[in-house]
Every structure is written in structure tokens, then in C-alpha cells.
Amino acid sequence: MKAFVLTRYGNNQEIQAADMPEPLVNAEDVLIQVKAASVNPVDFKIRDGQLKQVLPLRFPHILGNDVAGVVTRVGAKVTQFKPGDEVYARVDTDRMGAFAEYVAVKEAAVAPKPASHTMEEAASLPLVALTAWQTLRDVGQLQPGQRVLIHAGSGGVGTVAIQLAKHWGAFVATTTSTANVEWVQQLGADRVIDYKKEAFENVLEGYDLVLDTLGGEALDKSFQVLKAGGKVVSVAGPPDPQFAKDQGMNWLLQQVMGVLSFRVRRLAKKHQASYSFFLMHPSGAQLRELGALLDASIMRPVVDRTFPFEATKEALDYLETGRAKGKVVITLS
């Protein structure tokens, strides 16, 4: 089968089109013929080797985390799907490979494609939607009436997180550029901070939760907007010891994560808040719930641009410019 593979850690020059064997289908697997896949910023971190302690790779490695397509074969223990079913999934963490004609995914990570949406729209959602769902609800414990700041509201995670947080009854603030202010308001944001005109830490206060997708200076300043007992959940900051422990890392790696996150955890303590680094996990069950919200028009996917499969490297280049509004999707015939 045709696929785009990473030959070694580096930049896009290390990504090549290649012929690869079809993936093995284990007893609990669903083999999906890929109709669409989407590109995510985490693909760059994987490509660059930033996550090799968490997600070590064996080369050549097929990239891609999000898939929508048609089931062509199922393992002996699969009960929920059959050949011909239209599905979507965030592929298994230890078996990435959506930038290919076929991908095998554990049944537990797969859900029926939302009936009212295209393959391209469905493929845009799994990673960002599960990230938003799990950071806001599972880790952040967001409750109706609480106040949440979502950084980068026009990005892939941000567009979904705004809609989910509003659906769950929260007051939502977000940061974005001048060109996207009205657009993120239409997604449901109550308070929009144009970062080109004002600093969010100077105009917000008393927030219960911050979803950080930026890291760096934005993460550091996020603690200033929290009330006592507030939380920052980050998908871009340094991993912390609890994350390492939850991932089953050894004692030494837990200590390394402690050093990497020491300054941020000290900031959290200073502001009587908590800090958590989070890496989403695949969940077919949550994607089923998300699909119901999509089919009920409570939420909508946001696709900025699509590229044909042979232009996968161009899709990665485009997303890396930072200009995308929503998701970038790769289509296969």
C-alpha cells in the first residue's frame, strides 16, 4: 500500500512516499480503508523527536493520527463493526499510521462516522475533539457555570473546545488574532481577547480552568488569571511527574519530568493552583458521544483546507505556517 513515512527524526525532508505492507489485523482490530486523514501539530513534535521519550518510533514510521474511512476487515474478537461500515478514529497511540491507504485500529478506539458529515469533516475531529473532551471534562473537571480560558481559539483543539465548553454550560474566554475575533465569537466564545491588542493576563481574572495549547510564555502567564484552587491543563507545556507515573515510566524518567516541569509547578504553587500535562488517549466511546452532538447540530467541525494524498508533505508545510483556521485534511480516493 502507499504511505507517507518518516525515515528518521528531523524535518519534512525526512518524510517520503513509500510502498509499505498492509498492517496486520489482530483479533481486536478493525482494518480501515482510509478515505481522509487530518494533520495535527503533534505530528511535528513526533517528526522532530520531541516526544521520543513518550512515543519512541521504529523507522520507517508511517505518520498520521486521525482517520475516517470504511471497514474492510475485522479481527476474530470484533463485535461492533463489520466490513462496509463507515467509521472514524484516533488511531492507537502505539500504532500511528493514518497517512496510508489502510490502517489497523483497535475496536475500542473506533466509532461510527457521524451520519450527517463527510469523511473529510469526520477525519478532522478525533485527536482534537478527544483532546478537548479529556482536558476539559476528565482532567479539568469543568462544571456548568465555571469560567474557562481556552488558548488559540481558532486552532484545531480550540475550535472544538469552545463548542464543548459552551455545551457543558461554562463561560468561555479565548485568545486569537484580530482576523478571527468575530469567527470565534460565532463558535460560542463569550470573551475574546485579541492578543495583538491586549494581554489576556491583564484583562482576565477569577477563572477556574485554563486549557493551554501554546506552552511557553502563554503557559506561564495563565496562572495569573486563575482563582485560588484553579487548574491549568496543558498539551504543550513540560510533562510533569504525575504524567510520567500515569504513563508507567520508570523512576528515572519520573525524576527527569520533575526537573523539566519544576519551574511551572512552582508557578502553580505560587498562585495556589495546579498544573497538569496531558496527552490524550483514543476512545471510541467518547467519539460516539461526540458523533451524537455533531448529528444533532450542537457542534460542527471546522476544516480550513484539504489536500490530496500525494500532497501530504504540502499539507504538513501549510499547517506548520500557523495560518490554518481549524483543521487541515488529507483526502484519498
Q: Which residues contact 69 (CB under 8 A, 6 or more apart)?
A: 32, 33, 34, 35, 36, 86, 87, 88, 103, 119, 332
Q: How do the domains of the chain map onto residue ranges?
A: 2-125+301-331, 128-277
- The yes-or-no verdict on residue 54 having pLDDT over 80 is no
Question: Quick one: average pLDDT of 113-127?
Answer: 98
Half-sphere exposure of 20 (CA within 13 A, CB side): 24
Crossing angle for the helix pair 251-260 and 262-270, nearest 10 degrees? 60
Half-sphere exposure of 274 (CA within 13 A, CB side): 13
Q: What is the pLDDT of residue 324?
A: 87
Alpha helices, H only, the chain: 41-48, 119-123, 126-133, 156-167, 181-187, 200-203, 216-222, 241-246, 251-260, 262-270, 284-295, 312-320
Averaged pLDDT score across all residues of the chain:
95
CATH number attached to the domain at 2-125+301-331: 3.90.180.10
* E runs forming strands in the chain: 2-6, 15-19, 29-39, 61-62, 66-74, 86-90, 102-106, 110-112, 147-150, 171-176, 191-194, 207-212, 226-234, 274-277, 303-308, 327-331
User: What pLDDT digit, counting tens, does each position of 313-330 carry?
Assistant: 999 999 999 888 899 999
Question: Options 2.60.40.1180, 3.40.718.10, 3.30.70.1560, 3.40.50.720; which CATH number does 128-277 get?
Answer: 3.40.50.720
- The yes-or-no verdict on residue 55 having pLDDT over 80 is no
Q: What is the pLDDT of residue 247?
A: 85
3-state secondary structure of 2: strand
Q: Whole-model pTM? A: 0.95
- In the numeric block, the cell 500525494 is attached to 310
Question: Quick one: average pLDDT of 160-170?
Answer: 98
Q: What is the pLDDT of residue 50?
A: 82
Percent of the chain scored above 90 by pLDDT? 85
DSSP state of 126: H
CA distance 171 to 173: 7
